[in-house]
Amino acid sequence: MELDELKSAWQILDKKISREYTISLASYHERKLEQARSSLQPLRRGQIIQLLAGCGVLIFAVLLWSTKPTAISVIVAGVVVHLYGIASIGFAGVVLGGIHGIDYSEPVLEIQQKLAKVRKAYILGGIFLGLPWWFLWVPFLMVLAGLGGVNLYANAPSFVWINLGVGALGLVATWCLYSYSRDMSRPRLNRWVDNAITGRSLRRVQQLLEELRKFEQE
């Protein structure tokens, strides 16, 4: 085989390899993005459930207002429950809007940036909606009693204060557990707490996008 023929053969082989690599890269890219999109489905469903639950909480509060309560303690409990319903809807809406706003045709870095905003909204929602439940069940119970025409605080103030105190202890215990889990010598506990705070779906998507980003940089 002459030198020109050998060069031509190498060029053809090089083009074939480059074409196959481009196709493989595109296929890998599309597969990872599809996995990321699918991994967010549980989070999307969870936020839809949260939104519907928030609407239910609002209806619960509106039912109280329809009874025209006059006791201050019942009104305060109703306001707390009403605000919780609004917050539940608001945080769910922000997370769902963030998920919907992710364009998987964009560069991976931009997808990661948008996902980071979704993650931030989700974590804030977990803090503002989850932690208050150490206390929040008491106002809910007061509203429920108020619907029956009973002022729970007036009839059992010690019950209300004792359970609020227990809630305070629970909140402190939660913070202590979080601080304890930050020690890197406890990786399993650290991972469990991170999954609980961040959400398994978001962590899975973050991992997939990071794998894709590293692959594209190689």
What does the pLDDT read at residue 16? 57
Structure-token pair, residue 101: 């706003």
Domain that holds residue 103: 40-217
HSE-CB at 124 with a 13 A cutoff on CA atoms is 13
Structure-token pair, residue 32: 């990872």
Could you tell me if residue 10 is inside a domain? Answer: no
Could you tell me if residue 12 is inside a domain? Answer: no
| pTM (global) more than 0.85 | no
Could you tell me if residue 35 is inside a domain? Answer: no
Could you tell me if residue 164 is inside a domain? Answer: yes
Could you tell me if residue 33 is inside a domain? Answer: no
List pLDDT tens digits, range 57-111.
Answer: 999 999 999 999 999 999 999 999 999 999 999 999 999 999 988 888 788 788 8
H or E element in which residue 186 lies: none
With 90 as the cut, is the pLDDT of residue 180 above it? no
Could you tell me if residue 198 is inside a domain? Answer: yes
The rounded radius of gyration (Å) of the Cα atoms in the chain is 27
Q: If 0-12 CB within 10 Å is exposed, 13-18 middle and 19+ buried, where does residue 90 land?
A: middle
Q: Which of these, 211, 122, 141, 127, lies nearest to 175 by C-alpha position?
A: 127
List pLDDT tens digits, range 142-152.
Answer: 999 999 999 99
Q: Which of these, 8, 208, 204, 218, lies nearest to 108 by C-alpha position?
A: 208
Tell me how far apart the alpha carbons of residues 138 and 61 are, in angstroms, rounded to a whole number.
14
Confidence of residue 11 (pLDDT cuts 50, 70, 90): low
Is 38 or 7 the better-scoring residue by pLDDT?
Answer: 38
DSSP per-residue codes, 23-72: HHHHHHHHHHHHHHHHHTHHHHHHHHHHHHHHHHHHHHHHHHHHT----H
Could you tell me if residue 128 is inside a domain? Answer: yes
With 80 as the cut, is the pLDDT of residue 207 above it? no
Could you tell me if residue 1 is inside a domain? Answer: no
Own/partner pairs, 207-210, CB within 8 angstroms, 24+ separation: 208/32, 208/35, 208/36, 208/39, 209/32, 209/36, 209/108, 209/111, 209/112, 209/115, 210/112
Tell me how far apart the alpha carbons of residues 16 and 211 are, in angstroms, rounded to a whole number.
26
**Residue linked to tokens 């305070």:** 168
Over residues 117-129, the mean pLDDT reads 88
Is 36 or 70 the better-scoring residue by pLDDT?
Answer: 70
Q: How far is CA 100 from the centre of its chain?
A: 14
With 60 as the cut, is the pLDDT of residue 56 above it? yes
What does the pLDDT read at residue 210? 75
What's the total number of domains in the chain? 1
**Residue linked to tokens 């296929």:** 27
